Each structure stands twice: as structure tokens, then as C-alpha cells.
Amino acid sequence: MRRLTFLALCLSLAGWAADDLQQTAASADPSANQAASSTAPPAQAPAQSTTQAAPPAQAPPQSPTQAAPPPPQAPAGSESITGSIDLGYRFVTGIGGSNLAYRSIVDLGEGPRLLGLNATIQDPTKRFFDRLTVSGIGWGGDPYTTAHVDASKQRWYRFTFDYRSIAYFDALPSFANPFAGNGILLDQQSFDIRKRMANFALELRPASHVIPYLQYSRDSDHGTGVTDFVSSEIATFPVANLTSEHTDNYRGGVRFEFPKFHATLEEGATVFQDNEQVTYSGQNPGNFPAPFFGETLDLTKLLEAYGIRGTNPYSRVMLTATPWSWLDLYGQFSYSMGQTNVNYTQANNGEFVDLSSLLFYMSEQDLLTGAAKQPHTSGTVGLEMRPLKHIRLVESWTTDRLHTASSSDLAQALVAASGAITEPPSLSTFRLVDNYSQQSFDIFYDVTSKLTLHGGERYTYGDTTVPPFYGTGFETGSLSRQAGVAGANLHLNQKISANFDFEGGNSNSVYYLTSLQDYRKYRARVRYQPIQSLSITWNLNFLNNDNPIPGVNYRFSSKDDGVSLLWTAGKRFSILGDYARTTIYSDILYVAPPLNTSTQSIYWEDAHQASALLDFNLLQIGKRTLHLSAGGSLFTGHGTRPTRFYQPMAKLVFPLANHIDWTTQWSWYGFNEPIYQFEGFRTTVVTTGLRFTR
């Protein structure tokens, strides 16, 4: 049925194709073209002017031996439309191996597609707009879909609309699955949701000194998945859940644009809600099937739901100024006051245990309500000073202060073998404080016109107060880190340029065990262009971080070393390729539940990544070119979780007429994990269709 729909869609464009074929035949006779252009209706007269307005990659090449006749002038009031549309059908062969792994990594489906759309409309009358641009990709069921609209009228307004839709599927059987070794292929933290983001923006009088603007955006996702119902520290039960959430952001303000002064004043608010529902009925043994003190824990029935509602009004101010030619000033400040309300209900039956009292019970009912306020202040101030010709001084200070005060009321009832137990209402208050600041200073010195040296320092500090994991009261922490930076920028000539950067620091205290403690970062980039058509780039990134605190002994290192090449060999051949080798090593001691024992975690990876794309202009067909692209990508990694992934591809663009191309792309996907063979897959994907240009 989908193929018939695609066929009907192609037939609906037959009129356009027939007109285009007539134009192709007429192009062989210049006199016929001239006669046709003199008698054509106004909507078809500006054919060549629209071609000139198209992007260079879509404009047909002109013959070097014969100049084109001068184009007829567009009649007053006519519209100029340029662009392209790609319509196609994707075929997916039977997926060999794990369909869950294929959907988690590739997730391309079969059926008709609007592969791409790019259109520009220019209205000479300028009645409602001067220029309107519409673009989009992936419509018809692809995991990533976009749409963009941009309309403007000079000195009056500019309107933009952006839309993105992302299919987020993650259900690799080996992740969050303690029973993978027993052949139970269930990811206990899986998702199958559709995330949608839309943004509307309107600017008034964009070319003036005072620019009012309004903006609205919405971020939402809906879907299903698998999550864990946790009844105690040792008993968790995977169950299906249903999620739905969205956030609306309303904001408006005024921008002031002057030669030496720029300012933005903005007011806005976000409104959000988050809903989740979990239901289960059956016999669920959970992650602890062994008897616990002679009792077998299980879940037979569950109804769990929560709803979160919140608002967050905010204010922002942004300023930049250049009072003198040697001094730039900038700063921004924002303040928000968020409020959140929570309602939670839970009813579960089965066999459970309360570890604090070793009480076994068969039923539980919970009802919780809560509220929180969250004032949030952040700001940045900085300057750039040029006291001498070859010296620049840059200093900035950034702060972010987040405070949360909340309260909750919990009513709980249990049913044990001894009878019903009704707990008294539990009133709780919580407080979270997170203060973060960073001061930085940099100096840039132009040694020569070809060499610039850079040095500076960073001081990061903060404090936090959080509820404890166990017990009552609060836990506090602090952050204090000193770091130095250095670098060089070398530009010998148009052929050779290089950048080198270093950052190293030591921390007296950090928030998290894996935070930057005693670390070193190195980054280098060298670009060599011996001839205009050949460019070679080398990149190196290295990070080493240690936390020697007893009981942690954290060591982490990563290295990314790669080279890329771009070569354009005349008009008929080009190649783009890159290769990188990545190594990662991590070693840390952590506390493993439920017995809170110290356990060592070691992870290492040695991976090779490569990709290449070769473009061939095979032969000339009239004014068009038969085009072939071939290449692909690969990833092969050794270590804790060895992985192989291959994706060769080839694409052919065959011109059928002046404004019609037949496009076909072949891709093969292969994924393999030697340790988790059940996650491997392989499949072939073919996409074919027509591209119409104007």
C-alpha cells in the first residue's frame, strides 16, 4: 500500500516532468527558446533569473564555448521561485540479528519519504514579504525530521519557525540487565519516545536601532519504556511505563543596537508538566529471585503515577560596550524564581521487605504531595583591554547560584501478616544549595604577525548543601580548583597553520569522585595545504585526571589522535577522508549496593575510526553531469566491550532532464559485539527517488 502511495505521488508530478522535458527538447533550438520565451505566460518567463538565484551547487553549468542568450526581464508583480524537492522510497531488507540493537543504533524504516525540500520565494511587489525560505528533511517516518521557515520584509519584520522531531529508541539488551548472562534479554531502562521541538520567533524592524522581539518554543516527548519499581535496596522489579511531558517557553524583549553599545532586555517564563504512569499485573520475581530470610520477594500488582507541574518566570539583561577603541566591556545577568508542585500515588501487592525493621509485608499504599521554590541567579562580567599594539588582556568572572527549598507530606499504609499498619503522616523539608563561580584571566601577545602566544589562569570555587543519602540533616561540600592555561597560534603562510593549547590544574576539594582533580589537558591542531586543491589536518586531544583520595583511587585518561584529508582533483574527482585512534582508560573504587562493599571498576578501550567519501563526475549529459559518490565509515574497538561497526555506501545521481534527477543510494549496516553476540545485526538499506529542481 505504501508503494502504491509513493507511485501516485510521483504520477502527480507528471505535469511538471512533462513541461521540463519539453523545455529540454526546446533548448536544442535557440530560436525556439526565444519564441517560447516571448509568448510564455508571466509565471514562466523568468526561468534563467530563478536559476541564478539558486544555490551554486544546484545551478546548471554554463557551456564554456557558447554564451547563453540574455534572459527576459520578469514582469512586475511576478514571483521568483527556486529550489529543489527530493521524493523517494526506502527499502530495508530483512534485518539479520537483533532488531532491538538495529533500532537503537540506526532505526531507519521502510516506506515513501520526503527526503529533502529547499525552496525560496522572492516577491518583487514586496507586499507581504521580500523573501520566503522553506526547508525540511526526513518526512514520512524517519527518526530525525526537520522543518524551517524564514520570512522577512526589509525594515519591517523577520519571522522564523524551526521544528525538529527525534525518535529516541534505546533498548540494547545488555544494558541495565543483570540477567543477560542467563539469556533474559530485557533492558530495564529502555525508551521508545518521540521528542518534538518547535520554535517561533518574530523580530520587528530588524534593521533599526531598537528591535522588539517575541519568541515561543515548545519541547515535548511522549512514549513508552521499561523502568524499575524499587521497593527496597535489594528488590527492584522491571515494569512498563508510559511517559508524557512538555515545556512551554514564552519570552519577549527589546534589543538596542548602536555602534558602540548593544543591550538586550528580556522577560519570559517557562511552564512545564511531567506525567508518568506505571501499571503491572502478573508474577514478577524482580532482580533478587533467591529467598531472603526464607521469604521470596515478588511483585504481583502495581499502579504508580506521578504528576509534576511548574512555572519559572525569569528576567535577563545582556550588555556589550566599546567606550574606547582599546577597551571592550560585556556582561549578562539573569534571575528566575521557579515553583514546582508534585503529586504521587502508589499501590502495590506482592511480597516485600522493609530492611530497616526486617518487616515483610504484602501490600502498600502511598500518597505524597510536595512543593518547591527555586530561586536561581547567574551572571557574567568581563572585559578585553588592548593597552599596547601587540597585547590583549581578557578577564571575566562567572557565577551561578541555585537554591532550592522544598517540603513534602507522605501518608503510607502497609498490610503485613500481623495486620494493617498505618504510618503517621511524614512531613519533610529539604534544602539544596549550589554556588559556583569562576574567575579567569588571559593575556595574548603577538610576537610577530605569524605567531601569537597565550597564557592565563583559572580559579574555580563553590559550595553545596544537599540532603543526605542516609539519615537526617544535610551534607555539605566545597569546590576549589586552580588551573593554568597556555597556548600558541602559528600561521606561517597560506600553506601551514597550527594551534597548541594546554590546561593543567589541581583541586583542593571537589564535589564528585570523577570531577577534575589533578588533571592535564593537551590539544594540538596542524593544517597543511601544499596546493589549493589539497588540505591535510592533524588533530590531537589528550586528557589525564587523577583523584588519589584513599578509597577512591580514581585514574582516567583519554587520547584522540587523528588526521583528515580533502583533495579536489580537478572537476571530475574529489576525496574526503579521516582516520582517528581513540584510547580510554578508567579505574575507580565505588560502593556497590546492597551491602555497600568497595568494588573496583576498570574500563578500557582502544578504538579505530575511519570514514571516506569519493565523488566522481562521470560524464556530461547535456548540461547536467552523471554523479557517483562512494565511501563509508567504520569503527573497531578492543577492550572491555569490543565492538565492530561498518557502514559502506554508494550514491548515484543520474540526470533525466534539465531539472529532474534520479537518485539512488545503497547502504549496508553491520554491527557486532564479540562478548554480546545477541546484539549484533546486519541489513541493507536502499533509497531511490527523484529530485526536482527549479
**What is the Cα–Cα distance from 200 to 496, expressed in whole angstroms?**
44
More reliable by pLDDT, 320 or 53: 320
**What is the Cα–Cα distance from 427 to 430, expressed in whole angstroms?**
10
Q: In the structure, what pLDDT confidence band is assigned to residue 684 with cuts at 50, 70 and 90?
A: very high
In a domain, 518, yes or no: no
**For residue 460, which of 482, 431, 427 has the smallest C-alpha distance?**
482
Asked whether residue 51 carries a pLDDT value surpassing 80, the answer given is: no
Least confident stretch, 1-15, 271-285, 289-303, 305-319: 1-15
In a domain, 522, yes or no: no
pLDDT digits (tens, 9 = 90+) for 322-371: 999 999 999 999 999 999 999 999 999 999 998 878 889 999 999 999 99
8 Å CB contact between 328 and 320: yes
pLDDT digits (tens, 9 = 90+) for 441-481: 999 999 999 999 999 999 999 999 888 766 567 888 899 99
**For residue 615, which of 565, 569, 659 has the smallest C-alpha distance?**
569
In a domain, 385, yes or no: yes
In a domain, 451, yes or no: no
**For residue 187, which of 175, 196, 199 has the smallest C-alpha distance?**
175
The HSE-up count of residue 196 (CA atoms within 13 Å, CB side) is: 12
pLDDT digits (tens, 9 = 90+) for 372-413: 999 999 999 999 999 999 999 999 999 999 999 999 999 999
At 306, list the grid cell: 506521578
Question: How many domains does the chain contain in total?
Answer: 1
Asked whether residue 17 carries a pLDDT value surpassing 70, the answer given is: no
**pLDDT, position 40:** 35
How many C-beta atoms lie closer than 10 Å to residue 427's C-beta? 9
**What is the Cα–Cα distance from 301 to 236, expressed in whole angstroms?**
14
8 Å CB contact between 83 and 51: no
**What is the Cα–Cα distance from 172 to 31, expressed in whole angstroms?**
65
β-strand 359-388 against 131-139: which pairing, if any? unpaired
Asked whether residue 523 carries a pLDDT value surpassing 80, the answer given is: yes
**What is the Cα–Cα distance from 120 to 151, expressed in whole angstroms?**
10
Asked whether residue 419 carries a pLDDT value surpassing 50, the answer given is: yes
pTM here? 0.82
Does residue 14 sit in helix, strand or coil? helix
* Peptide bond between residue 594 and the one before it cis (omega within 30 degrees of 0): yes
In a domain, 204, yes or no: no
| Residue in this structure with the C-alpha cell 564535589, named with its chain if needed | 511
In a domain, 387, yes or no: yes
pLDDT digits (tens, 9 = 90+) for 248-267: 999 999 999 999 999 999 99
8 Å CB contact between 85 and 120: no
At 133, list the grid cell: 525560505
635-639 long-range contacts, Cβ below 8 Å, gap at least 24? 635/607, 635/608, 635/609, 636/607, 636/608, 637/605, 637/606, 637/607, 637/608, 638/605, 638/606, 638/607, 639/584, 639/603, 639/604, 639/605, 639/606, 639/607
In a domain, 114, yes or no: no
Q: In the structure, what pLDDT confidence band is assigned to residue 6 with cuts at 50, 70 and 90?
A: very low
Least confident stretch, 78-87, 164-173, 645-654: 78-87
**pLDDT, position 598:** 82
Percentage of the chain lying above the pLDDT 90 cut:
67
8 Å CB contact between 625 and 661: no
Query: Taking all residues of the chain, what is their mean pLDDT, rounded to a whole number?
Result: 86
Does residue 67 sit in helix, strand or coil? coil
Residue 222 sits in which domain range?
Answer: 217-431
Q: In the structure, what pLDDT confidence band is assigned to residue 579 with cuts at 50, 70 and 90?
A: very high
CA distances from 636 to 75, 232, 345 (A): 60, 40, 47
In a domain, 396, yes or no: yes
At 556, list the grid cell: 582516567
